Amino acid sequence: MHDLRTYDYAIVRVVPRVERGEFVNAGIILSCDVERVLQAGIELDEAALLSLDAGVDLEVVRSTLSTIPAICAGGADAGDIGKLSARERFHWLVSPKSTIVQTSPVHTGRCNDLDAALEHLMNRMIRRVKGQG
């Protein structure tokens, strides 16, 4: 069994009309300094988003959300931001923004399996249980 690792995470939110403050959770960004891990899970419930704003530009939202895993992976595909360390990329991703895609405050957790932690967070915070809003 691995030792418990501390990780930080933020919830990715889509805020179609910033002035209303309503949002749909669309993903998790998870960072672990000890393991040098930065990963994201993105799953947008488009029906829920459209219920908040039927006129939202889904292509813009999809495109913006798709940049998050690329930035987590780093490298040339992430542009200049991809040259930064994983921790610097995490801080850049979770910095406050007033755009359609935002993140929650950063939270901390502990686990011995980062992939399982990401899956748990996706199930708890992002995926909707059928029959529930």
pLDDT tens across the length of the chain (133 residues): 468 999 999 999 999 998 898 999 999 999 999 999 999 999 999 999 999 999 999 999 999 999 999 999 999 989 999 999 999 999 999 999 888 999 999 999 999 999 999 999 999 999 987 655 5
80-97: string of b/e by CB count within 10 Å (b at 16+)?
eeeeeebeebbeebbeee
Neighbouring C-beta atoms of residue 54, cutoff 10 Å: 8
Q: Domain locations in the chain?
A: 5-126
User: For 45, which DSSP code?
Assistant: -
- Residue 59, classified by CB atoms within 10 Å of its CB into exposed (0-12), middle (13-18) or buried (19+), is exposed
**How far does the chain reach from its first CA to its final CA, in angstroms?**
37
